[in-house]
Amino acid sequence: MATLETTTGNLESARPDDIRAEFLLPRREDLHRMIEGWVAEDEGIQDLTTNILIPPEATADFAMNTRQDIVVAGIEVAAEVFRHMAPEAQVELAVADGARIAAGARMMRVRGNARALLTIERTSLNILQFMCGIATLVDEYANRISHTNTQLIDTRKTIPGMRMLSKYAACIGGARPHRLGLHDGIIIKDNHIAVHGSITRAVAQARALTPALTKIEVECDTLEQVEEAAAAGADVIMFDNMPAEMMREGIRIIAGRARTEASGGIRLDTIAEKAESGVDVLSVGRMTQSAPAVDIGLDVTISQ
């Protein structure tokens, strides 16, 4: 899906590097299928309350405002819920993805048939709160390590079916994607090593069969494993649940033979120390796995 059209030319500008996230968005037709599924799940056979209480000809005017300071992500996705499911509606955006906005800020205004909009407004709000929640939390993690050269990356710990939107939101918040799935990289872990008997043999097997330009990463729990992985020719060595001092020693042992990643036990109160070890990238699963939804409200006026 290319960047979706907006109905206003006066959006608050996004950060200039947010273009890197666009390739993670679904194609328009795929997004439409997702939206139809979301709405169908919520509506069932009909929106009983709305159809009973709201006259067919009534119109609604929705104002969507944030109730807390957030990083915006998914505003076009949320708007597309209204555009696709209520094509006659007027949708006006006041912000763009990547914008940092304060509590009380207007995000979107939607006007149209009240029945149509009331049936789908929760779907739009849910996806926006979810995606902004990820971007806002990622931004907090990224800010903690902004004084270092370490890059923050996401993981595969995403809600099934929501991976690309989750990774898009993380990218908007200041992270970069790790693997998009099991298909696009080799990460050798304990179970793989156990099958082959050693890191050396596992890396050799991977190197023999993996496409030439595909990176091979090895997860290490000990410094002895770090040395073996570096000697075996791993492209990336992951420090799994290692304290910062141990990571510094691991980086010394590797001596430039591989790039480094730290994973496990990385929280807001520990991320700065881990980054200051000199590790190349830090991966944090909780950014996409358990980011809290942000508080966004919809105020509506209905006219008959």
Residue 180 maps to which CATH number?
A: 3.20.20.70
Would you state the pLDDT for residue 18? 53
For residues 277 and 296, state if they share a domain: no
pLDDT in the model for residue 19:
52
Whether 5 maps to a domain, the answer reads no
* Cα angle value 295/141/260 (rounded, 5°): 145
- Long-range contacts of the stretch 3-8 (C-beta < 8 A, 24+): 3/76, 4/28, 4/76, 4/77, 4/79, 4/80, 4/83, 6/76, 6/79, 6/93, 6/96, 7/90, 7/91, 7/92, 7/93, 8/92, 8/93, 8/94
Looking up tokens 């309350």 gives 49
Residues annotated catalytic, as ranges: 122, 157, 189, 219, 240
Please report whether residue 2 resides in a domain.
no
Residue 139 covered by a domain: yes
User: Considering the domain boundaries, does residue 1 fall inside one?
Assistant: no
Cα→Cα distances 55→48, 52, 91, 181, 241, Å: 13, 8, 22, 47, 59
What is the pLDDT at residue 159?
94
Does residue 156 lie in a domain region? no
Q: Which domain holds residue 221?
A: 176-283
**Residues 297 and 273 grouped into a single domain:** no
CA quadruple 122, 98, 20, 134: dihedral positive or negative?
negative
Structural domains of the chain, count? 2
In this structure, is residue 93 part of a structural domain? yes
- Asked, for residue 9, whether it belongs to a domain, the answer is no
Same domain, 93 and 185: no
Is residue 158 in a domain?
no
* pLDDT the model gives residue 23: 82
**One pLDDT digit (tens) per residue for the chain, 304 residues:** 334 433 333 334 344 345 557 888 888 999 999 999 999 999 999 999 999 999 999 999 999 999 999 999 999 999 999 999 999 999 999 999 999 999 999 999 999 999 999 999 999 999 999 999 999 999 999 999 999 999 999 999 999 999 999 999 999 999 999 999 999 899 999 999 999 999 999 999 999 999 999 999 999 999 999 999 999 999 999 999 999 999 999 999 999 999 999 999 899 999 999 999 999 999 999 999 999 999 999 999 988 7
CATH number at residue 46: 3.90.1170.20
* pLDDT given at position 202: 97
Residues 20 and 138 in one domain: yes
Amino acid (1-letter code) at residue 67: R
Could you tell me if 278 and 296 lie in one domain?
Answer: no
62 and 92 belong to one structural domain: yes
136 and 238 together in one domain = no
> Is residue 122 located within the same domain as residue 210?
no
Q: Quick one: 186 and 111 in the same domain?
A: no
pTM score, whole prediction: 0.91
Q: Are residues 110 and 87 in the same domain?
A: yes
What is 221-289 written as a DSSP string?
A: SSHHHHHHHHHHT-SEEEEES--HHHHHHHHHHHTTSSEEEEESS--TTTHHHHHTTT-SEEE-THHHH
Query: 233 and 199 in one domain?
Result: yes
Both 139 and 209 in a single domain? no
What's the confidence (pLDDT) of residue 2?
A: 36
